[in-house]
């Protein structure tokens, strides 16, 4: 399966989206995702870029192939800025002529053709207006022509029909006034140019607002370096990123940005990773640590080895995920898509029928009234606002989430998150840091005598020597503790792993056991007081105390006798209590779901304020508990980081993976937290609800606007008010509706969470 990205400058409305989707739907094994707000089309499936461009041409929307996302984003920014200036010039030119003409009529000036002098004067104005139609409205006519060649219609069709009808009618009145009844010899030149001026002004302001919408992706793209310092045979040289290969060694100077993902070969420094993870505190980096492209070096100097190509860096994948999510659709937006697909032709029919009714049975001047109705309906019905209602909000929301340190895979997950009323948290690596540490050691006295410091150091060295052969996370905590104390590790002579219990081995001729109660019981280990270690009777007061504190007790025996009990704990994240309180304050149920023992789980839950605990469960049982909560009527969000969480993440209504977790967990989830701060979960749920409210506001405004705007333009209020809606007002309202939707969507950027 390949993926092709296209930029479509002429895509303006929901009707355009529907036609492009329909064009690709006709192709076998191909699907298209469209981002109207960014004017991009993503084509998935077995199709070449040339074939995709041909489909776009046939549909009436010429496109450009996007090869370099960063270059394309910069090119689009430049093009948008140029288009903004052009649309502003066009708007000023049209309004500079249209406003005086409109004021002339409003202040009592003659706009009826009843003399040769009026013919001459308005004939000149008609030619000026024609020049403006061509100069300020050329892009609308070109858009309509492309649509006609593709045997379809679009927003440009409505604008061109409306403005051209008003101009053509007015010019015919000027040229052959005798062909029209006296009371219908009214000119509408000002309507044509005012409509184009207002729509161009609306498009210019919309472009300005849209630029803010995609700022999140722009800022991510801006993190990508274009050059790097490569260490070669001839010393350091500055090269372009695309010249780098896997395995190249790069120098990272103070203040430099990491060019590509890599591993530190030498040196140490602090790196600012806030732009990727949202974590404000710089992260220390030493030999063997991973570096992510886009992060910024502090005052230290590093040499690192490239481990990922330009398209495979963590940053590149983040950008791709954000862009993919921004092009996705929500179920709430599908109603708008269905309506938009048939909207333009339906509006044309309504406009023609309304005009015919006014001409046949309306009051005099019937022809003028029919023209006003036809023009007003065509102009006010443009479905821009309807097409922008959902995608604009999704773009802003996904971008805001990315800035918070959350990757949202699709819009549907965002909508599901807005309904979540139960959050299930894994313990290790989610509520806790996932990095066990030694927090205490209880030494068992032998023959009533305390161990000397030298004896203790020797025992710790022997324990760490054995533990370095184990893959258990608790073992790495012990090894780190001993290394930090600068205790040498002797050679291990024999090593045996007892699955689920601990390890057995020989160091310096002495036999050791390191593990849990079950291991001690299996070898009938005796405590310092001579008590046999059966599974029921073996107990040490210190171990019991450790368990009450949520710490895991590791027993150490030498030559069959207990010599130490070591407490190892996975520290709770600093913001865990605050985050869980924030989630619960939103009326959401919180459950701790873990494979750890019940006593430790309860201790952790008590410290962070979780009242419901489900402990000692296997991976498949986690999934069963998620399904049980769903059967109770809950919409469940599962937060986890390990392979054992993957089934539960898949089954949950919303799966949220910790970015520090396994690839399997991240792939299984709908959202990924790059930040280690749990408070982000509360903010994410609040953002999802704010997004749905925002979309509903946009859709309500767009539907209400078209539902009321078209009948008003058709003249249903005429019997009550004696007035018809001016085409100029219709044009202004159409432009204002799109601008309102874009502005409302951008409110999410400052939404208080």
Residues annotated as part of the active site: 426
Alpha-carbon span 586 to 157, nearest angstrom: 48
Closest CA to 188 of 222, 155, 163, 218: 163
**To 5 degrees, how large is the angle CA 214–CA 215–CA 221?**
95
**CB 471 within 8 Å of CB 446:** no
Tokens describing residue 498:
């007892």
Tokens describing residue 75:
């090119």
**CB 708 within 8 Å of CB 603:** no
CA dihedral 253, 256, 259, 265 (to 10 degrees): 30
Alpha-carbon span 465 to 673, nearest angstrom: 36
Core vs surface per residue 229-257: b (16+ CB within 10 A) or e = bbeeeeeeeeeebeebeeebebbbeeebb
CA distances from 592 to 424, 516, 553, 607 (A): 6, 24, 21, 12
Q: How many residues does the chain have?
A: 753
Q: Within 13 A of 194's CA, how many CA atoms are on the CB side?
A: 21
The one-character DSSP state at 178 is: G
The backbone torsions φ and ψ at residue 424, rounded to the nearest 5 degrees and listed phi first, read: -105, 125
Alpha-carbon span 549 to 543, nearest angstrom: 10
Neighbours of 118 (CB within 10 A): 17
| Consecutive H or E run containing 283 | strand 283-285
**CB 344 within 8 Å of CB 154:** yes
Alpha-carbon span 38 to 570, nearest angstrom: 44
Alpha-carbon span 727 to 374, nearest angstrom: 9
Alpha-carbon span 260 to 313, nearest angstrom: 6
Tokens describing residue 467:
């533990």
The backbone torsions φ and ψ at residue 303, rounded to the nearest 5 degrees and listed phi first, read: -120, 125
For 387-424, give the DSSP string: HHHHHHHHHHHHHHHHHHTEEE--HHHHHHHTT--EEE
For 186-254, give the DSSP string: B--HHHHHHHHHHHHHHHHHHHHHHHHHTHHHHHHHTTS-SEEEEEETTEEEEEEGGG--TT-EEEE-T
Alpha-carbon span 217 to 398, nearest angstrom: 9
Core vs surface per residue 562-588: b (16+ CB within 10 A) or e = bbbbbbbbbebbebbbbbbebbbeeeb
The backbone torsions φ and ψ at residue 419, rounded to the nearest 5 degrees and listed phi first, read: -105, 0
Neighbours of 222 (CB within 10 A): 13
**What is residue 605's three-state secondary structure?**
helix
49 burial type by CB count under 10 A (0-12 exposed, 13-18 middle, 19+ buried): middle
Give Cβ neighbours of residue 307 (< 8 Å, ≥ 6 apart).
Answer: 246, 260, 261, 262, 263, 290
The backbone torsions φ and ψ at residue 693, rounded to the nearest 5 degrees and listed phi first, read: -60, -40
């Amino acid at each position: 399966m390949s993926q092709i990205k296209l930029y479509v400058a002429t895509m303006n409305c929901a009707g355009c989206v529907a036609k492009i989707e329909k064009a690709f739907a006709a192709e076998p094994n191909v699907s298209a995702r469209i981002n109207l707000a960014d004017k991009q089309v993503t084509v998935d499936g077995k199709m070449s870029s040339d074939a995709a461009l041909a489909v776009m041409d046939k549909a009436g929307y010429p496109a450009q192939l996007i090869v370099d996302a960063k270059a394309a984003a910069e090119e689009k920014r430049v093009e948008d800025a140029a288009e903004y200036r052009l649309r502003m010039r066009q708007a000023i030119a049209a309004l500079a002529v249209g406003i005086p003409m409109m004021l002339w009529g409003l202040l009592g000036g003659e706009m009826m053709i009843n003399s040769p002098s009026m013919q001459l004067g308005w004939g000149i104005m008609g030619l000026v207006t024609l020049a403006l139609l061509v100069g300020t409205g050329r892009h609308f006519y070109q858009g309509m022509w492309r649509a006609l060649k593709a045997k379809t219609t679009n927003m440009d069709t409505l604008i061109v029909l409306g403005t051209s009808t008003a101009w053509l009618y007015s010019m015919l009145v000027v040229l052959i006034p005798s062909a029209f009844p006296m009371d219908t010899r009214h000119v509408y030149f000002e309507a044509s140019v005012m409509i184009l001026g207002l729509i161009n002004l609306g498009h210019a302001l919309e472009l300005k607002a849209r630029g803010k919408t995609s700022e999140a992706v722009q800022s991510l793209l801006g993190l990508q370096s274009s050059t790097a310092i490569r260490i070669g045979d001839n010393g350091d040289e500055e090269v372009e990123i695309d010249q780098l290969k896997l395995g190249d060694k790069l120098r990272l100077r103070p203040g430099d940005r990491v060019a590509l993902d890599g591993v530190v070969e030498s040196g140490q420094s602090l790196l600012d990773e806030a732009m990727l993870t949202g974590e404000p505190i710089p992260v220390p980096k030493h030999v063997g640590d991973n570096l992510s492209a886009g992060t910024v070096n502090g005052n230290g100097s590093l040499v690192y080895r490239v481990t990922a190509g330009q398209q495979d860096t963590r940053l590149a994948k983040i950008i791709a995920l954000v862009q993919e999510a921004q092009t996705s659709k929500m179920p709430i937006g599908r109603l708008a898509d269905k309506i938009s697909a048939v909207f333009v032709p339906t509006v044309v029919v309504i406009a023609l029928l309304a005009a015919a009714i006014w001409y046949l049975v309306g009051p005099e001047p019937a022809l003028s009234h029919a023209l006003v109705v036809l023009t007003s309906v065509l102009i006010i019905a443009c479905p821009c606002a309807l097409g922008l209602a959902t995608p604009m909000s999704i773009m802003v929301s996904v971008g805001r989430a990315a800035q918070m340190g959350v990757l949202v895979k699709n819009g549907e997950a965002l909508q599901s998150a807005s309904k979540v009323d139960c959050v299930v948290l894994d313990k290790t690596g989610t509520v806790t840091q996932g990095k066990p540490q030694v927090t205490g050691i209880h030494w068992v006295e032998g023959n009533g005598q305390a161990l000397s410091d030298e004896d203790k150091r020797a025992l710790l060295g022997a324990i760490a020597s054995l533990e370095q052969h184990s893959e258990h996370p608790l073992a790495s905590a012990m090894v780190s503790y001993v290394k930090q104390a600068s205790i040498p590790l002797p050679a291990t002579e024999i090593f045996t792993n007892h699955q689920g219990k601990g390890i057995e081995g020989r160091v310096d001729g002495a036999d050791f056991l390191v593990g849990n109660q079950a291991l001690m019981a299996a070898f009938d280990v005796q405590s310092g007081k001579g008590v046999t270690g059966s599974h029921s009777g073996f107990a040490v007061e210190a171990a019991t105390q450790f368990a009450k504190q949520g710490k895991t007790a590791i027993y150490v025996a030498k030559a069959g006798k207990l010599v130490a009990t070591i407490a190892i704990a996975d520290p709770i994240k600093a913001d865990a209590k605050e985050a869980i309180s924030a989630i619960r304050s939103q009326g959401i149920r919180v459950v701790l779901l873990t494979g750890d023992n019940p006593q430790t789980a309860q201790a952790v839950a008590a410290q962070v304020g979780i009242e419901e605990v489900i402990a000692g469960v296997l991976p498949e049982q986690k999934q069963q508990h998620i399904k049980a909560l769903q059967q109770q009527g809950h919409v469940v969000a599962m937060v986890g980081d390990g392979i054992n969480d993957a089934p539960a993440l898949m089954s949950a209504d919303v799966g949220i993976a910790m970015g520090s977790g396994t690839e399997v967990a991240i792939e299984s989830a709908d959202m990924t937290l790059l930040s280690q701060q749990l408070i982000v979960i509360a903010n994410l749920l609040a953002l999802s609800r704010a997004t749905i409210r925002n979309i509903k506001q946009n859709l309500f405004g767009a539907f209400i606007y078209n539902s009321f705007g078209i009948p008003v333009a058709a003249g249903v209020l005429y019997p009550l008010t004696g007035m018809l809606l001016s085409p100029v007002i219709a044009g202004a309202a159409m432009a204002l509706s799109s601008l309102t939707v874009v502005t409302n969507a951008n409110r999410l950027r400052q939404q208080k969470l």
